[in-house]
Amino acid sequence: MTLADLAADAADRLILDEAAALLPLHTADVVVIGDVDGALALGALAAGVESVRVHQDSVVAERMLAALGDERIRSEELGPDLLDGATVVLLRLPKSLDELDRIASLIALHAAPGIVVVAGGRLKYMTTGMNDVLARSFGRIDVSHARQKSRVLFAREPVAVSAPVERKQVHADIDLTVAAVGGVFAGTSVDIGTRALLATFDQLPAFETAIDLGSGTGILAAMLKRRRPDARVIATDASAVAVESARSTMKANDLDVEVLRDAGLASQPDASIDLIVLNPPFHDGGAVTTDIALDLFAQAARVLKSGGELWTVWNSHLTYKPDLSRLVGSTREVARSAKFTVTASRRRVRELEADR
């Protein structure tokens, strides 16, 4: 079995093949970034690497890798502890150039001077802009031949760069400063779906506990806290860059909101929350899907108290209302335009509570 046989994805196979000659020479200082399903980390270990430091943006991916129980794999936040002394980095290229710029500059700042970055991806998601971004942090960029619609970029010779900084934008219309690090959805802007949901906040029911599910930069959570300063408000997202951004947003606005990195609502107890607001994603990688939203609806139903409500915004061409009624409870339309629909779903009384 070759290293490439460990990876189901063509880009991962190519990264492992192109790194095959390097890995046996660098057995203690290998870092993997953006590993979707653990194939890159496992491939590095199969090549004789003694241990590997890994950063995955998704907490779901991180937990899947941790579940293997391999003590040679150590997960770290994206920063100095991850990259200190690294001599080889296996990188699955992110789609966001801002995210790539952040990763590249951190590698250049903290890795060993002889660092070799083996960065690969699917051709349909790669652009020449990625070469330009890498060239800001490295003096030498080489390109592999394409194979199975994938390609690898090699980055060497790190140059002096500044530490990446988060961006901030003041939105006077909602009186909120939004902070963002590279790669978070919508950056420092307020996306139009969030604006559609915010426009209905004057109709929200009273609440003592609330969650912004899939919070991104934390805009909805911040505005919930503004409306009810005494309420307990939680912002939760599976993405590390989203959580970092949301924490910075709360700090910039002096708001006491709990920000958690979680797989949906996995850490939340049943029947514990009065209100959940949700602007659900509808992309999984490059594919358009409703599966993510349906899973989040079901999780919200578990966590809502009887009579609690899920307020969600979705593209008007979708048919989520029957799903919301089935998974959560009675669903009413709060607002609708050609682009977006906002609905409120009231959690039905649970059977155990009804029998009391």
Please state the domain count of the chain.
Answer: 2
Please report the pLDDT score of residue 281 as a whole number.
81
Q: 106 and 246: one domain?
A: no
Three-class SS state of 43: helix
Angle (CA) 79-83-87 rounded to 5° is 165
Q: How many Cβ atoms from other residues are within 10 Å of residue 11's Cβ?
A: 26
Residues 132 and 199 placed together within one structural domain of the fold: no
DSSP 8-state class, residue 228:
-
118-151 pLDDT, tens digit per residue, is 999 999 999 999 999 999 999 999 999 999 999 9
Q: Are strands 73-75 and 52-55 parallel, antiparallel or unpaired?
A: parallel
- Residue 291's pLDDT is 80
Which of 6-15, 157-166, 345-354 shows the lowest per-residue confidence on average (mean pLDDT)?
345-354
Domain limit, last residue, from 136, 158, 180: 158
3-state SS, residue 123: helix
Same domain, 153 and 192: no
Among residues 158, 182, 211, which one ends one of the domains? 158
The shares of helix, strand and coil residues in the chain, as percent rounded to the nearest 5, are 35, 30, 40
Say yes or no: 154 and 174 in one domain: no
In this structure, are 146 and 68 located in the same domain? yes
Per-residue model confidence (pLDDT) at position 282: 65
| pLDDT tier, 334 (very low <50, low <70, confident <90, very high otherwise) | very high
pLDDT given at position 7: 55
| Residue 351 scores a pLDDT above 70 | no
> Domain of 335: which CATH number?
3.40.50.150
Q: Does 222 lie in the same domain as 242?
A: yes
Same domain membership, residue 341 and residue 210: yes
CA 103 to chain centroid: 15
Does 234 score more than 50 pLDDT? yes
Q: Per-residue pLDDT tens for 254-306?
A: 999 999 999 999 999 999 999 999 999 864 444 444 688 999 999 999 999 99
Q: Do residues 218 and 248 share a domain? A: yes
Question: Is residue 283 located within the same domain as residue 256?
Answer: yes
What's this model's pTM, rounded to 2 decimal places?
0.92
Query: Does one domain contain both 211 and 176?
Result: yes
Q: Which pLDDT tens digit goes with each residue over 8-31?
A: 699 999 999 999 999 988 888 999
Average pLDDT, the chain: 93
Residue 63's pLDDT is 95
* Residue range 54-85, pLDDT digits in tens: 999 999 999 999 999 999 999 999 999 999 99
Q: Which residues of 94-119 are buried (b: 16+ CB within 10 A; e: fewer)?
A: bebebbbbbbbbbbbbbbbeebbbbb
Mean per-residue pLDDT for 172-179?
98
Query: Whole domain around residue 85: which residue ranges?
Result: 3-158
Q: Where residue 33 falls among pLDDT bands split at 50, 70, 90?
A: very high
Residue 81 and residue 42 share a domain: yes
Could you say which DSSP state residue 202 is in?
Answer: G
Same domain, 173 and 126: no
Among 140, 158, 176, identify where a domain stops: 158
Cα distances (Å, whole numbers) of residue 115 to 108, 157, 278, 341, 343: 8, 7, 42, 49, 51
Contact of 331 with 343, CB cutoff 8 Å:
yes
Is residue 328 within 8 Å of 347, Cβ to Cβ?
A: yes
